[in-house]
């Protein structure tokens, strides 16, 4: 007799969502999680809730408040003396938010009767999972279906000194500084590097980002990337492109970073803290994936089809551990899809429409194809863009930077991609994703009434601009 109908390995946004949805659909479900916080407490939520998306956004919000008071309060007639920053209070607020959310998932597990199992899991043949508990005891569990959602971990560069939890840290360590570093170096100017750099820069750090690639945000639309690059440099971020780090040396509480610049000249940089943010690797080591018959690609990701089925029948893999962008919402939707397909539903995920967001100030968000991708594919397209400088709500909010850009098929007018640089881009992109999902035209967006005054009016004007009839530009 099987112990469970479904065993989910990993309780991050992919795993816990899959487990809850399986339980909602009437399946006896267990979810295994091994993650512990620094206090030794087992916590659900994975990287995202514990040391990723949520704590970083909590710190971003705190840094926004500090920046507004320091630089913009006088514009609103607000005066004060001796503005100060207590990093310990800032960190305590972050921790409280994380605990509220992770405890909330535990309550959802109880509500939906998902069995929470603590420890490390290893795949065995015949749909079995070996669970090693924190005290070292081992038991073997059987299930009809297994869903692997073990997530990912920060990549550690071989060319530099290892993480030491103090002067050289990964993204997790960068969320836990007890004081604002005077000089902060970040290797990697991607999503994580830019967000972390933005936080500590607003709080007073001198931030230098070393990016090995010659282009800034190579995956983003070029117009958006170029505009964002200018804005971030203006804000004080020192972004050095084509900078390949070759060595580091920790000495007297600082880090000496040696790198080769864009013209192949060796340079050196001394910082008080160094953050390595060059990407993440899938957590497949120790899982017994290959021994259980699963196929792994060159990056260590578990190979799956469009429905997240692995090479072994009734074994699925979702989230960061499989192909595609390492995004929490992508993993969650894969979890829902797998659960519902196990229940006989024909659910699928449209991977081409998954939104991307970078939580800088202003935010960067996009969904669908970029202009470069359309050109490479030989697709005829039209472009409409509109700056937030033409939007009344942006002026009232005190930030008119950025724009919205819409790409539409030249023949059918179907929306192919939407790219945003601006305040609340993370919220505005939802309308674009809906348009992509329902194969809407730019005319559909142009004919949709948008409330005034709102930032969303920029989406309306950009859609009008596709047909060269924007009103306020």
CB 391 within 8 A of CB 420: no
Specify the pLDDT at position 204. Answer: 97
Q: Which CATH architecture has domain 362-466?
A: 2-Layer Sandwich (3.30)
Which class is domain 168-278? Answer: alpha beta
* Architecture of the domain delimited by 4-154+281-352: 3-Layer(bba) Sandwich (3.50)
Q: Is the predicted pLDDT of residue 290 greater than 90, yes or no?
A: no
What is the pLDDT, as a whole number, of residue 126? 87
285 CB neighbour count, 10 Å cutoff: 11
Mean pLDDT, the chain, whole residue set: 96
pLDDT interval class at 253 (50, 70, 90)? very high
The 10s digit of each residue's pLDDT in 87-124 is 999 999 999 999 999 999 999 999 999 999 999 999 99
Cα separation, 238 vs 180, in Å, equals 17
CB 416 within 8 A of CB 368: yes
* Mean of pLDDT values over 219-227: 97
Q: Is the pLDDT of residue 471 over 90?
A: yes
Provide, rounded to the nearest whole percent, the portion of the chain with pLDDT above 90: 96
By annotation, the residues acting in catalysis are 452
Nearest to 196 by CA among 429, 309, 358: 358
Domain with CATH 3.50.50.60 in the chain: 4-154+281-352, 168-278
Classify strands 183-187 and 206-211 as parallel, antiparallel or unpaired. Answer: parallel
Domain with CATH 3.30.390.30 in the chain: 362-466
pLDDT at 473: 85
Average of per-residue pLDDT across 58-69: 96
How much is the average pLDDT of 145-165?
A: 93
Asked if 258 contacts 268 with a C-beta cutoff of 8 angstroms, the reply is yes
Please report the pLDDT score of residue 91 as a whole number. Answer: 97
Tell me the pLDDT band of 1, cut-offs 50, 70 and 90. Answer: low
Taking the C-alpha atoms of residue 184 and residue 305, their distance in angstroms, rounded to an integer, is 41
Can you tell me the distance from the alpha carbon of 408 to that of 424, in angstroms, rounded to the nearest whole number?
23
Residue-by-residue DSSP string for 212-233:
SSSSTTTTS-HHHHHHHHHHHH
* Tens-digit pLDDT profile for residues 408-424: 999 999 999 999 999 99
Average pLDDT over residues 351-370: 97
Nearest to 458 by CA among 425, 435, 410, 414: 425
Q: How confident is the model at residue 159 (pLDDT cuts 50, 70, 90)?
A: confident
């Amino acid at each position: 007799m099987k112990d469970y109908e479904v065993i989910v390995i990993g309780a991050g946004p992919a795993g816990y969502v899959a487990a809850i949805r399986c339980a909602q659909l009437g399946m006896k479900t267990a979810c295994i999680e091994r993650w512990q916080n620094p206090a030794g407490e087992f916590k659900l939520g994975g990287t995202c809730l514990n040391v990723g998306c949520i704590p970083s956004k909590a710190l971003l919000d705190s840094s926004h408040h500090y920046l507004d008071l320091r630089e913009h309060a006088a514009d609103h007639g607000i005066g004060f003396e001796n503005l100060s920053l207590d990093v310990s209070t800032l960190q305590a607020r972050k921790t409280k938010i994380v605990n509220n959310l992770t405890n909330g998932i535990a309550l959802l597990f109880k509500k939906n009767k998902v069995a929470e199992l603590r420890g490390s899991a290893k795949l065995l043949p015949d749909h079995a999972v070996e669970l090693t508990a924190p005290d070292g005891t081992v038991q073997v569990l059987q299930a009809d279906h297994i869903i692997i959602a073990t997530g990912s971990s920060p990549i550690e560069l071989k060319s530099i000194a290892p993480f030491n939890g103090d002067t050289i840290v990964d993204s997790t360590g960068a969320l836990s500084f007890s004081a604002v570093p005077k000089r902060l170096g970040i290797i990697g100017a991607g999503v994580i590097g830019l967000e972390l750099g933005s936080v500590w820069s607003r709080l007073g750090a001198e931030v230098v980002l070393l990016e090995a690639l010659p282009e800034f945000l190579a995956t983003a639309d070029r117009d958006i990337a170029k505009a964002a690059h200018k804005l971030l440099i203006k804000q004080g971020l020192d972004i050095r492109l084509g900078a390949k780090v070759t060595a580091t040396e920790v000495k007297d509480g600082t880090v000496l970073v040696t790198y080769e610049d864009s013209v192949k000249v060796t340079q050196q940089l001394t910082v008080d803290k160094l953050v390595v943010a060059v990407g993440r690797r899938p957590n497949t080591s120790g899982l017994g994936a290959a021994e259980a018959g699963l196929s792994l690609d060159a990056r260590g990701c578990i190979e799956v089809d469009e429905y997240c089925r692995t090479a072994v029948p009734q074994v699925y893999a979702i989230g960061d551990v499989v192909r595609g962008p390492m995004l929490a919402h992508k993993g969650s939707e894969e979890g829902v899809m797998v659960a519902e397909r196990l229940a006989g539903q024909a659910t699928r995920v449209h991977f081409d429409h998954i939104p991307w967001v970078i939580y800088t100030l202003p935010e960067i968000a996009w969904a669908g194809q970029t202009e470069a991708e359309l050109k490479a594919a030989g697709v005829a397209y039209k472009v409409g863009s509109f700056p937030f400088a033409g939007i009344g709500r942006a002026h009232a909010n005190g930030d008119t930077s950025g724009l919205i850009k819409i790409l539409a098929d030249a023949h059918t007018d179907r929306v192919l991609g939407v790219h945003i640089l601006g305040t609340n881009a993370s919220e505005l992109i939802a309308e674009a994703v809906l348009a992509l999902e329902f194969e809407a035209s730019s005319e559909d967006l142009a004919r949709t009434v948008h409330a005034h005054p709102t930032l969303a009016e920029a989406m309306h004007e950009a859609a009008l601009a596709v047909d060269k009839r924007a009103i306020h530009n």
